[in-house]
Chain A
Amino acid sequence: MAERVNRFAVGSGGWELASWYFMRLSGILLLGLALGHLVIMHVLHGVETIDSAFVLGRLANPVWQVYDWLLLTLALLHGFNGLRIIIDDYVHASAWRMTLQSIGYIAAFLAFVVGSVVIWAA
C-alpha cells in the first residue's frame, strides 16, 4: 500500500504542465491560423484557381512563410501531443507504449523536417 501512495510523490509533472499549457496556447493560435488559412484558400480564392504557381507565389512572401510554418508546426505538435496523451492513457504494456511513443516522436520529427523544408525552400 505504501508503495502505491509513494508513487504520487515522484513526478514528471513539469513536462505534463508544459504540455497542458502548450495545448491551450496552440489551440487558441491554431483557431485563428486555421480559419485564416481556410478563408484565403477556400473563400477568397476558389479551389479551381489554386495551382502550384499560386502556392509558390504566396510562399515567396516571408509573411506567408512564417504563417504557414507556424500553422504547420503548431498543428503537428498539437496533434502528435494529443496522440501521445492518448497512448499514455490507453497503452499500459511498457514495451508497446515505448514502441508506439517512439513511432510518434519519429513521425512528428520527420513531418516537421519535410514540412519546414518545403516551406522555407520554396
Chain B
Amino acid sequence: MKVHFRIRRYDPEKAPKPYWQDFEVEVEPTDRVLDGLHYIKWYQDGTLTFRRSCGHGICGSDAMVINGRNRLACKALVKELGSRIVVEPLRGFRVIKDLVVDMEGFFAKYRAVKPYLITRSPEPEKEWIQSPEDRARFDDTTKCILCAACTTACPSFWANRDFIGPAAIVQAHRFIFDSRDEGAEERLAVLHSRDGVWRCRTVFNCVEACPRGIDVTRAIEEVKRLLLTRKL
C-alpha cells in the first residue's frame, strides 16, 4: 500500500527553523513505521536522521511522536495508522537533528534516583533470596525500557523541565519496592524534593504513552503514598 509520510525535519547547520517534508512510500500494511523510515533513509533521502537500535521494542531508542501520540516506531504498525503518517521528534527535549533529541537531562534524572541495587547487610553466601510475592511487588516497573515516551507526554514536564519526570520515578519505584534493596531512603529523598513526585498532577498521559503498558501513574502514586505513610 502507498503511504504518505509527513516528517518534521530540522538541521540547524542548513536552516535555523524546523520544517515539514513529505514522502510517498510503498509498504506492506503489516510493516512498522520504522520500516517506512528506513525506506526513506535508504532509498529517498539519506539525510533523514533518527535513532533506532534493536528494532523490536526493547532498546527504547526510537520513541517519537507518530500521528500525535508517543509511540515506538518499531512497534507502530502501518495498518493501525492508515495511509497518512505524521512523524515528529519527542516533545519537551531539545531537537539535535530531525527525530534525534537531546536526552542528557533525561538520563541525569535517571542517574539521580540511583537505579541500581543498594545493600548494606552482609552479603549472603549465595544469592539474595526473594519470594515470588516480593518479586511481584515491583514487577510492573521492571518493564521500563527508558524510551522517554512517558516523560515527554507529561504536561507537568512540558511546563517545568526540572520535574524529575515519570520515567525516573518508575525506575526509582522498581528499587524502592524491591525487598532486597536497602537504598530506599536515598531515593525517596530525591523524589521528595520540590521537583520530585509532588510535581505530578495525575494527568495519566504517561500511562497512555507507555509502549510497555506500565501503570506509570499507579507507580508514582505508590511512591507518594509511601512518603505519606512514612510521615504519619
**What residues make up the interface of A, taking CB atoms closer than 8 Å to B?**
1, 4-5, 7-14, 16-17, 19-21, 85, 88-90, 92
A20 touches B193 (CB 8 A): no
Closest CB in chain A relative to B97 CB, distance in Å: 22
User: Which residues does chain A contribute within 8 Å of B189, judged by CB atoms?
Assistant: 9, 11
User: Which residues does chain B contribute within 8 Å of A13, judged by CB atoms?
Assistant: 191-194, 196, 198, 227
What are the nearest 3 A-B pairs in CB distance?
Answer: A11-B193, A13-B192, A16-B198
**Which chain B residues in 107-129 approach chain A with CB under 8 Å?**
108-109, 111-112
Residue of A nearest to B111 (CB): A5
Provided the pairs A1-B108, A90-B159 are in contact, do residues A8 and B190 lie with their beta carbons within 8 angstroms?
Answer: yes
Q: Does B231 contact A (CB under 8 A)?
A: yes
Q: Does B105 contact A (CB under 8 A)?
A: yes
User: Which residues does chain A contribute within 8 Å of B105, judged by CB atoms?
Assistant: 4
Given contacts A7-B195, A8-B190, A19-B198, 4 further A-B contacts (CB under 8 A): A4-B108, A10-B193, A13-B198, A16-B196
A89 touches B156 (CB 8 A): yes
A17 vs B231: C-alpha distance when bound (angstroms): 9
Provided the pairs A17-B192, A17-B227, A89-B159 are in contact, do residues A5 and B112 lie with their beta carbons within 8 angstroms?
Answer: yes
Q: How many B residues are at the interface, by size bracket?
A: 20 to 34
A9 vs B109: C-alpha distance when bound (angstroms): 11
Q: Does B150 contact A (CB under 8 A)?
A: no
User: Which residues does chain B contribute within 8 Å of A90, judged by CB atoms?
Assistant: 159-160
When the two chains form the complex, which single residue of A4, A7, A21, A89 contacts B160, counting CB atoms closer than 8 Å? A89
Residue of B nearest to A86 (CB): B159
Closest CB in chain B relative to A44 CB, distance in Å: 35
Contact sample, A vs B, 12 pairs, CB 8 Å cutoff: A1-B104, A5-B112, A8-B109, A8-B193, A9-B193, A11-B192, A13-B192, A16-B196, A17-B231, A85-B201, A89-B156, A92-B160
Provided the pairs A8-B193, A9-B189, A13-B193 are in contact, do residues A20 and B162 lie with their beta carbons within 8 angstroms?
Answer: no
Provided the pairs A9-B190, A11-B192 are in contact, do residues A17 and B228 lie with their beta carbons within 8 angstroms?
Answer: yes
Closest CB in chain A relative to B15 CB, distance in Å: 28
User: Which residues does chain B contribute within 8 Å of A10, judged by CB atoms?
Assistant: 193
